[in-house]
Amino acid sequence: MHARSVFLGVWLGGMLTLQAGYLGPADGYNGFFFGDYTSANSDVGGKLAAGGNINITNFSVATAYPANHFNGEYALIAKGDINAANGQLVSGDAFAGGIGTLSSFTLLSGLLTEGGTSPVDFAAAETELKNKSQALKDLSGTAVSPNVGFEFLLDAAGSDLAVFLLDSSEFCSSCSVKFVNVGANTTVVVNVKGASVNGTNASYFINGLGVNGDASSPLASRILFNYFEATSLFMNSGVQGSVLAPYAEVTSTWGQMVGQLVAQSYSNECPEAGNRCGSLELHDFNFPADPGELPPPSGEVPEPATWMLSAAGLAGVLWHRGRAGKR
């Protein structure tokens, strides 16, 4: 079980105050999708929600928690249908706005509700999270390219907030992403450029520690990757940190993700013949910090084709500041 801190973000005349879960309607969900979620032969450590259908086989949900942890809460939510075979929901209830078809799929401590109003307003959530993704990409940050050792070295310098910019065109199968000097109160935002992202590198390290399932560094909860223009995201390794990819259809190879995944949809089935896909295992490390409510100037969500990056956004670590009232 992973404790989550609660903050709320407010922009005050150039100063950022961290106070609440930044991912808003997705806060507390290990996987949160506006469309369909399809996976097999894997598990999600926390709660799972989809604005379309959920199709899971040989699959378990809420595995990181005891049976009574989500009492009275929905831990498995589909605005459409739930098609679940061979597995279990360890804790909490299940909701299907359409039909719930459970075949050898056990709800260990909860009930299935079919029909009625979804407990999540996915349309509103999609708008809010796209706005937040755009607000994050406008933060100034350090542009980082791989060095001669094929490493993206992201030095948080012990600051309370560090922002970086990566170009997905520089990703490679032998690359690694290494976070260093990440403190217990550090929040790291990694803006990732690219409309079609094929791979998120081979290995991730936080202060020298690699991906190790639920035993991964708890500092993974301090990191958020913001794929602010990706409409296609293929994840081919274990990832430490949460992923906000509100426009992206996500596919993956076999692997582990230590954090929340927020996306348009997810499927373990490859869209192109000849590719080999596998299911991404999600470990429930929730992103707690809020880098501020910074909606786009127009107040509307822009389409990916209209996005532009400002050269001014490539200017060093955002700031270093002392935070009053350390947690």
Digitized pLDDT (tens) for each residue of the chain, 327 residues in all:
333 333 233 333 333 333 357 898 999 999 999 999 999 999 999 999 999 999 999 999 999 999 999 999 999 999 999 999 999 999 999 999 999 999 999 999 999 999 999 999 999 999 999 999 998 998 889 999 999 888 999 999 999 899 999 999 998 877 889 999 999 989 999 999 999 987 655 688 999 988 888 878 899 999 999 999 999 998 877 789 999 999 999 998 888 999 999 999 999 987 665 566 788 999 999 998 654 433 333 344 545 544 333 323 323 333 333 333 333
Query: What pLDDT sits at residue 15?
Result: 31
Angle 266-267-268 (CA atoms, 0-180°, nearest 5)? 135
pLDDT at 297: 30
pLDDT attached to residue 117: 96
> 């961290």: which residue's tokens?
18
Task: Kindly give the pairing relationship between strand 203-206 and strand 209-210.
Answer: antiparallel
- Rounded to 5°, the CA angle 273-276-282 comes to 130
pLDDT recorded at residue 231: 96
CA distances from 326 to 22, 72, 183, 184, 291 (A): 18, 32, 12, 10, 16
Specify the pLDDT at position 183.
92
Q: What is the pLDDT of residue 289?
A: 65
The pTM score is 0.83
**Model pLDDT, residue 27:** 94
Length of the chain: 327
Residues in Cβ contact with 57 at an 8 Å cutoff, skipping those fewer than 6 apart: 39, 40, 41, 84, 85, 86, 87
Q: Which of 299, 307, 301, 91 is nearest to 192 (CA)?
A: 307
Which residue carries 């249908």 as its tokens?
Answer: 81
CB 249 within 8 A of CB 263: yes
CA dist 161 → 32, 53, 183, 210, 240 (Å): 25, 37, 10, 22, 17
The pLDDT score that the predictor gives to residue 126 is 97
